[in-house]
Chain A
């Protein structure tokens, strides 16, 4: 029996019920596939931002104090002296893409009416393009590599009445535990595009200026190492244990190499939480979908029990009747799910072009970005299609199986 042709005819006949069932499948497929791209975006953005802007794939820093410090975002870093030849050796490793020294340390800013304790962060302005571009300069300009300059968060500038061109006295502790004072010029105010909850807690200067302030030309608090895509951060961090022991431990406090994941327990647990939430939502959608499809098919079976009995009387086996209902259901599911996924793909494309502006500061802080971009996840398009198909096939099988085995004469009498 040409069940596909018959299924098409039946789908057309029961238009309103099938439209309702199709709309549910369409909605479910759309929701799952579209939000899968968002989840991929969250993971990709967070990972990329964290690695590129904050820690590198692996970073060298003073050993974390497990009693008082949680992760790379919430800890104190001690000054390290890392000689240029050690950095050169790391750079020479074919697995390494770039090595970026960072300096983060507490400072006191002498403002006209107040003295403010704040954190200063320094980076290589020339080398760290990604971090440089992460600053949205609201007023003024970006730091020069060799000037005694700072840029400050725009909110801080407004609160403390700091203006472009102001000279601010900055007091910092040196590597040798002395104090040093420098006059630094405010050249810009900024917002950050990503990881704003963390990056907005600092004023920024160039690495050259910071090293003058802490009085050590080789000083770093964290050495961020960016690896090639195929390299394994864990393995690489382990491979640094011996060189650290041999070349650095004598002149430094306890230090070690850490992969970004180890140092970002908060971040990884956040991603895990988001993914778990996503799967719970998928589970709920599937449950609602199963119930709705089941109800819709059951309605169809009730409406068509005389037809089922007639097919049985004409010699159709229960398997054939099941096949007929399942073909209808799967056909409807395929058409609706495919349409939902196509819409999700179109919407994904446009969202990718424009990004989703995040205006809520709390959400921005949570996501760590002022604009959110989804990321392409092919499985996110394929899996919803399969989910809808499997749900439709199973539910229709169960109901049609029951219907096809009912005694024909009893059904005829009911009608």
Chain B
């Protein structure tokens, strides 16, 4: 799997003001990558994740999935791509309020029309529930869970279809260190065994330390890419913090 962002720019129109959310972004995500996107609020982290997740399209430039530009895919093909190859963990969890923990995690498999009663699928869902520490909350609905528990459901849901790429917006923000550790173990294991690439936007030093690549963003541009070359940006220099990771 290879995702390439080539000269990606994204502009939003806010009333009469144009907002440049992404500026000339170039980088590649390959299988087994473990990438962190860091940057202050409004720096374009979420927009970049949306581009990678195929839920937003660039104003200029292209995003290609295994050589196919996402803009050339129709809505159905894009949906299928998101369902089978990408797992997304939203900052606000975005769980289905009418479904319980098990059903929320199961949802992407049902959307993808995988055999619902498959023993493997059930075992995998149960494994994920156990891994995120929600075995005793399996039939609870989101409104009966704490913020941290909801986030764990969202994480398990993103992993259920064994995607090639998992995108996460602040995935461990609401978790205690013990659960964060367990989840990191789980995703690291998936990263190694299933060749799943992970791209996080986070401030969590523990995650940052375990990532192969750290991409630092500011004002919509990549100002540092510890795993590759930073694309030239025609703008005033900004202070860059160099992340210390093993």
Task: Name A residues whose Cβ lies closer than 8 Å to a Cβ of B.
Answer: 1-2, 6, 9-10, 12-13, 306-307, 309-320, 405, 407-409, 412, 415
Contacts and interface: CB of A to CB of B under 8 A. Distances in A.
Interface of B: 47, 50, 53, 55-57, 75-76, 79-84, 88, 90, 92, 94, 96-99, 107-108, 110-113, 116, 157, 161
B79 A310 contact: no
Given A9-B99, A409-B50, A415-B92, A312 B56 contact: no
Contacts, number: 77
A310 B111 contact: no
A10 B98 contact: yes
Contacts of A10: 98
A310 B99 contact: no
B55 A409 contact: yes
Contact of A313 (B75, B94, B96): B94
B112 A317 contact: no
Given A315-B82, A318-B75, A2 B116 contact: yes
B108 A6 contact: no
Contacts of A415: 92
Given A314-B83, A314-B88, A13 B98 contact: yes
Contacts of B113: 1
B94 A310 contact: yes
Nearest to A13: B98
Main secondary structure of the interface of A (DSSP, over half): helix
A159 B83 CA distance: 88
Contacts of A316: 79, 83, 111
Nearest to A407: B56
Contact of A312 (B55, B157, B161): B55
Contact of A306 (B56, B81, B94, B110): B94
B88 A9 contact: no
A6 B99 contact: yes
Contacts of B157: 314
Given A6-B99, A314-B108, A315-B108, 16 more contacts: A12-B98, A307-B97, A309-B94, A314-B88, A315-B80, A315-B81, A315-B161, A316-B111, A317-B75, A317-B79, A319-B76, A320-B111, A405-B75, A408-B50, A408-B55, A412-B50
A13 B97 contact: yes
A216 to B, nearest CB: 86
A307 B107 CA distance: 12
A315 B94 contact: no
Contacts of B94: 306-307, 309-310, 313
Contacts of B84: 315
B79 A315 contact: yes
B123 to A, nearest CB: 20
A318 B92 CA distance: 22
Q: Max chain A CB contacts within 10 Å: which of B55, B56, B80?
A: B55
Contacts of A306: 94
B122 to A, nearest CB: 15
7 closest residue pairs by CB, A with B: A315-B83, A409-B56, A9-B98, A310-B94, A408-B55, A1-B110, A317-B79
Q: Max chain B CB contacts within 10 Å: which of A10, A307, A311, A313?
A: A313
Given A2-B116, A318-B76, A408-B56, A313 B98 contact: no
B78 to A, nearest CB: 9
Contact of A6 (B47, B98, B116, B161): B98
A147 B112 CA distance: 90
B92 A314 contact: no
B159 to A, nearest CB: 12
A2 B76 contact: no
A405 B76 CA distance: 11
A310 B97 CA distance: 12
10 contacts: A1-B110, A9-B98, A10-B98, A12-B98, A307-B97, A312-B82, A313-B90, A318-B79, A407-B57, A409-B47
Nearest to A307: B96
Contacts of B107: 1, 314
Contacts of B53: 313
Contact of A317 (B50, B56, B76): B76
Contacts of B81: 315
B98 to A, nearest CB: 4
Contact of A310 (B80, B96, B110): B96
A1 B55 contact: no
Nearest to B76: A317
A407 B50 CA distance: 11
Contacts of B47: 409
B89 to A, nearest CB: 10
A8 to B, nearest CB: 9
A315 B82 CA distance: 5
B48 to A, nearest CB: 11
Contacts of B112: 315
A405 B78 CA distance: 12
A415 B93 CA distance: 12
A405 B83 CA distance: 17
A1 B111 contact: yes
Nearest to A304: B97
B111 A311 contact: yes
Contacts of B108: 314-315
A415 B90 CA distance: 12
Contacts of B79: 312, 315-318, 320
B27 to A, nearest CB: 19
Nearest to B93: A310
Contacts of B90: 310, 313, 412
